[in-house]
Amino acid sequence: MGKPMSSQAKAHEAHKNSKGHAHDSFRDLPLQRLWIVLVFTTTFMFVEAIVGYWSGSLALLADAGHMLNDVFSISLAIVGIHIARQKSTAQRTFGFKRVEVFSALVNGISLLAIAYFIIREALRRLQRIDSLEIMGPMVMGTAIIGLIINIVGMKLLAAASEESINVAGAYHHVVADMLGSIAALIAGVGIFLWNATWLDLLASSFVALMVAKSGFMITKKAVLILLETVPDDKEIEKLLEELENIEGVVAVHDFHAWRVTDGLDVLTAHMRVDRNIDQDLVLEKSLQIAKNHGFDHSTFQLELEKCDDAYDDCVPQA
């Protein structure tokens, strides 16, 4: 009868068997759709900036400024996905997948900066609102075109935004742009019918608030991932309780759970187990529990509770 497999070897085998996770999920990301949205956004950004300047509309200029940030955002998303696809190496065992999170962080911060500048300009114009001259019909026409483009962009990116924080950053930019187009359209109608130039300032301020909200959401999510906090969509206490309730498990310690990037959640733990228990069964149940909670990439190290010098794989109680 051969020597029993050591707990270290079992842990390694468990880790090996858990590699059916989505390390390469980035290969399915809609790069082609991102490119389409980038072309549309860049083209309309120039149109909106020119018309906004010509018509005197801050709402259009604000949306054009946001679209400039969109161009930056979507470009970073594309670059981030390409870098994240690079294969893992001995020095970078997770490859470059964290680049996507850094890209999203830059996008989020840039959104907050755009919101600040829009509000500042709106307050400046408020001081001379009686002298403002804005061409309502031009604002309406441009806003309608922008609304159509943004709706198309949302449809193209909606599904992928749920799988990738990077694409989510680009998606939230497009959503904010759509709301900005709606606000600009309302302002254009009000200016055309009643010469209500204050609606333009109100619309631009609305855009700023939407931009700030999106920027805060993306920035917060990226920061939490970079701090390696437990993913907020995981029921960690319940998971830990289920692991401790496995027959033969005495205690679970050195428990860690974090998110490398969207689609790649990692879990590691040391488990003290009774010496007479079937270690393979414990590992199998542990991996299944982790998988049920969304951790396809998990590693468990078994430590034997009772020591017997006759076995080399005996690990003293911690």
Percent of the chain clearing pLDDT 90 (strictly above): 46
Is residue 180 a part of any domain in this protein? Answer: yes
My answer on whether 269 and 205 are in the same domain is no
The two tokens of residue 311 are 């076995």
My answer on whether 58 and 173 are in the same domain is yes
- pLDDT tops 90 at residue 11: no
Which H, E and C letters describe the chain, residue by residue? CCCCCCHHHHHHHHHHHCCCCCCCHHHHCCHHHHHHHHHHHHHHHHHHHHHHHHHCCHHHHHHHHHHHHHHHHHHHHHHHHHHHCCCCCCCCCCCCCCHHHHHHHHHHHHHHHHHHHHHHHHHHHHCCHHHCCCCHHHHHHHHHHHHHHHHHHHHHHHHHHCCCHHHHHHHHHHHHHHHHHHHHHHHHHHHHHHCCCHHHHHHHHHHHHHHHHHHHHHHHHHHHHHCCCCCCCCCHHHHHHHHHCCCCEEEEEEEEEEEEECCEEEEEEEEEECCCCCHHHHHHHHHHHHHHCCCCEEEEEEEECCCCCCCCCCCCCC
CATH of the domain at 121: 1.20.1510.10
Domain boundary among 176, 207, 226: 226
Domain housing 55: 25-226
Mean pLDDT, residues 296-318: 69
Is residue 316 a part of any domain in this protein? Answer: no
Is residue 18 a part of any domain in this protein? Answer: no
My answer on whether 237 and 139 are in the same domain is no
Spatial distance between the Cα atoms of 295 and 289, rounded to a whole number of angstroms: 9
Q: Is 111 left (phi over 0), alpha (psi -120 to 50) or beta?
A: alpha
- Cα separation values, 48 from 52, 108, 110, 118, 166, Å: 6, 23, 20, 15, 25
Is residue 311 a part of any domain in this protein? Answer: no
My answer on whether 205 and 239 are in the same domain is no
My answer on whether 135 and 246 are in the same domain is no
- Ranges 105-119, 154-168, 268-282: which has the least confidence: 154-168
CATH of the domain at 266: 3.30.70.1350
Find out whether 153 and 108 touch, Cβ atoms under 8 Å.
no
Spatial distance between the Cα atoms of 81 and 98, rounded to a whole number of angstroms: 10
- pLDDT tops 70 at residue 307: no
Domain boundary among 226, 259, 287: 226
Give 113's contacts (C-beta < 8 A, 6+ positions apart): none
My answer on whether 189 and 202 are in the same domain is yes
Tally Cβ neighbours within 10 Å of residue 162: 10
pLDDT digits (tens, 9 = 90+) for 269-306: 999 999 889 999 999 999 999 999 999 899 999 999 76
- pLDDT tops 80 at residue 203: yes
My answer on whether 99 and 54 are in the same domain is yes
Is residue 6 a part of any domain in this protein? Answer: no
- Ranges 26-30, 33-37, 122-126, 208-212: which has the least confidence: 26-30
My answer on whether 219 and 95 are in the same domain is yes
Is residue 14 a part of any domain in this protein? Answer: no
What's the domain count of the chain? 2
pLDDT digits (tens, 9 = 90+) for 1-10: 444 454 444 4
pTM: 0.73
Give the pLDDT of residue 14. 46
Give the pLDDT of residue 39. 94
My answer on whether 236 and 141 are in the same domain is no
Is residue 298 a part of any domain in this protein? Answer: yes
Domain boundary among 161, 196, 226: 226
My answer on whether 154 and 278 are in the same domain is no
Spatial distance between the Cα atoms of 286 and 220, rounded to a whole number of angstroms: 31
Residue 315, φ and ψ in degrees, nearest 5 = -115, 120
My answer on whether 187 and 214 are in the same domain is yes
- pLDDT tops 80 at residue 313: no
My answer on whether 114 and 100 are in the same domain is yes
